[in-house]
Structures are given as C-alpha cells and as structure tokens.
C-alpha cells in the first residue's frame, strides 16, 4: 500500500509523512517556550508522543500515520525540536 518515495529507496511515503509531522510538531513545541508558553509546548510534545505510541487515538489520516510509524514520528519530533532549541 505504501509506495517508495524514491525509486531505489525503501523509504516509504508513510514514513516520510510521519517524519514531517513529527518535525512540524517538534519545531513548534520547541519554539513555544521561547515565546513564554512553556506548558503549551510541553503539553503539545507529550500529546504527540502519546499519540505516536498509541495511548491516544486521533481519527485523522495524520493520527493513523503517526500511530503506524511511531519511531519515524518521534525521531522527527526530537530532531526538529533539538534544531529549533539550538537556533533559538
């Protein structure tokens, strides 16, 4: 069902989508404390991690993607969050 993103690469569209979603949430969650919203940033990151690990289930396509590829989503979350924290 999940097609390869590149012709010779085994990296699938679902995995790519999970990394992008994790990165977007990670960047936002890491930037919110810079603006003074520590609790919101932490809550967003925790809610995303719990959704990725299957504790909470969201009915959207993004929720299913993150739940099916949790390690890619969490890797994107951590990588983007760390990059934003280093740059901010």
Q: Which two tokens stand for residue 50?
A: 């719990």
* Residue 39 binned pLDDT confidence (cut-offs 50, 70, 90): very high
Q: Which of 24, 21, 2, 12 is nearest to 83 (CA)?
A: 24
Largest CA distance in the chain: 45
Domain ranges of the chain: 13-87
Q: Does pTM surpass 0.75? A: yes
- Judge residue 22's burial from the number of C-beta atoms within 10 Å of its C-beta, 0-12 exposed, 13-18 middle, 19 or more buried: buried
pLDDT digits (tens, 9 = 90+) for 53-65: 988 777 788 888 8
């Amino acid at each position: 069902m999940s097609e390869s993103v590149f012709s010779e690469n085994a990296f699938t569209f679902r995995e790519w989508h999970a990394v992008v979603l994790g990165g977007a949430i990670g960047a936002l969650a890491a930037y919110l404390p810079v603006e003074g919203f520590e609790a919101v940033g932490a809550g967003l990151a925790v809610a995303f991690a719990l959704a990725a690990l299957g504790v909470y289930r969201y009915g959207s396509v993004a929720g299913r993607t993150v739940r099916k590829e949790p390690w890619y989503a969490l890797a994107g979350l951590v990588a983007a969050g760390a990059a934003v924290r280093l740059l901010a």
